[in-house]
Amino acid sequence: MKNTIIRTVSIAALAMAPFITGCATKKYVKTTVTPINQKVGELDATAKAQAKAIEEAERGIARADERALGADGKAEAAGKEASLARKEAADGRALAEKGLVRADQLGNDLNAVNGNVKAINSRLENMQNFKLTTTDQVLFAVNQSELGKDAMAALDSSATKIAGMKSFVVEIQGFTDSTGDKATNIELSRKRADAVVRYLTGKHNIPLHRIFVAGYGADNQAANNKTRDGRKLNRRVEMKVFVSADQAETQTSSTTRPSN
């Protein structure tokens, strides 16, 4: 009986064991495993959030690096542009300085040219204002163009007056009396003027470029051709000396010396 009861109790205990064990397991799970699983889930969610945050951070860092690289590139390009601008500015400054120096030189040259122009203009004005200083004349025999002794002496005296002059011109004008035809008289007057020019340039070295020559024939009579003495005075060459205004003498001399 006793053994039967024991067996019965044992069988009952064995039958109840799963229920007892199951109750204990549920309690364990409820009190121990479930909180752990919750913690693990929370940790997993946290880990995922952190991973996502790290990923975003890495993306932000990558973008920052790109921006930094872009900024470095822009800074380098800006630096190159600044260096180029400084070089161009330096070159421009150098060119400007050279331009100023050249401008100064041109200004000096222009001042010098202006000074020369003023001097030339002044000289031209003086040349345009040439004044008659002396008038001499020599006479010729009828139908002759050779110089006589008296004519040469008169030209020697005139050349002596010219010797000390710097700016001067000489007018040599040949004339005849009214006898003979017009063409012959003009040719004869030229020959007489040429004879005077040859004498002045050959013996006294008066520059030919300072001499102006003309033959007028019977024009511009100095005396009456109806008289012998008048015709004698008309067979002449007049020598007029002009000097620039700054050299002009206050007194004009005039000498008349007849020839044989």
Boundary (domain end) residue, out of 128, 147, 167 = 128
User: Which spans in the chain are helix H?
Assistant: 2-28, 34-128, 149-163, 182-203, 228-234
**Distance from the Cα of residue 255 to its chain's centroid:** 58
Give me the torsion for CA of 99, 101, 102, 103, rounded to 10°: 80
Give me the number of domains the chain comprises: 2
Amino acid at site 213? V
Secondary structure (3-state) at 33: helix
Same domain for 189 and 221, yes or no, is: yes
Boundary (domain end) residue, out of 93, 128, 163 = 128
**Distance from the Cα of residue 124 to its chain's centroid:** 30
CA distance to 150, 191, 249, per residue, from 260 (Å): 7, 18, 32
Q: What is the pTM (predicted TM-score) of this model? A: 0.49
Same domain for 209 and 152, yes or no, is: yes
pLDDT tens digit string along 54-93? 788 778 777 777 776 776 677 677 778 778 878 887 887 7
Give pLDDT < 50 ranges for the chain. 2, 5-6, 8-9, 11-14, 19-20, 249-256, 258-260
Q: What is the pLDDT of residue 91?
A: 84
| Domain assignment of residue 233, given as a range | 130-257
Same domain for 143 and 251, yes or no, is: yes
